[in-house]
Structure 1
Amino acid sequence: MRIRSSGVTWREVDGEIVALNLESSSYFATNATGARLWAPLVAGCERADLIELLVATYGIATSTAASDVDRFLGSLRSNGLLDD
């Protein structure tokens, strides 16, 4: 899966991501944790990669990381920002 390359523009601002879906004119912003997940999604990655990244970076339980990743991916999908 990856962040859509067409119809989406984004910038990193103060360690957070600000994205705009140009087709729907919807605005999306992340916190620092979401920004940490953004770069692998721009390059293309798997859900498991994102979970491992959160566990390694923040020292949280795998189940907590999985829940956080699923919630984040759900937000990206509902805002039309993700290509699966």
Structure 2
Amino acid sequence: MISVASHVVWQDVPGELVLFDQQGNAYHALDAIGSEIWRQLAAKGDIDAVIADLTERYDAPPERIAEDVRGFVATARDKGLLTDAA
């Protein structure tokens, strides 16, 4: 399970999602697919559930979707935006 770090706030704005890391005083803007992944992770906390949902909704190879979601999560973890849920 995964969760949004407690020091991160986020807001939907037209065409993207904006994150603010209060700890690092940094803004991050996500594109449409990154925004969708973020929203689903925030709601579900389950990487595999997000992958399954996106695989059902998009015409892309499941391996590619899984790779993209896992890459997104790895990058967000490295930046301290997502953490492993307790």
Instruction: State the partner residue of 2:59.
Output: 59
Alpha-carbon distance between aligned partners in 1 of 2:15 and 2:56, rounded to the nearest angstrom: 19
Gaps of 5+ in 2: none
Computed over aligned residues only, the root mean square deviation of the Cα atoms, in angstroms, reads 1.4
**Sequence identity of aligned pairs in percent?**
31
- Name the amino acid aligned to 1:68: D
Alpha-carbon distance between aligned partners in 1 of 2:39 and 2:10, rounded to the nearest angstrom: 11
Alignment of 1:1-84 (within 5 A): 1-4=2-5, 6-84=6-84
TM-score (norm 2): 0.84
1:24, distance to aligned residue in structure 2 (A): 0.9
Runs of 4+ in 1 over 2 A off after TM superposition: none
- Name the amino acid aligned to 1:11: Q
In structure 2, the residue corresponding to 1:27 is in which secondary structure? strand
Aligned residues: 83
1:81, distance to aligned residue in structure 2 (A): 0.9
Gaps of 5+ in 1: none
- Name the amino acid aligned to 2:43: A
- Name the amino acid aligned to 2:48: A
Alpha-carbon distance between aligned partners in 2 of 1:57 and 1:36, rounded to the nearest angstrom: 12
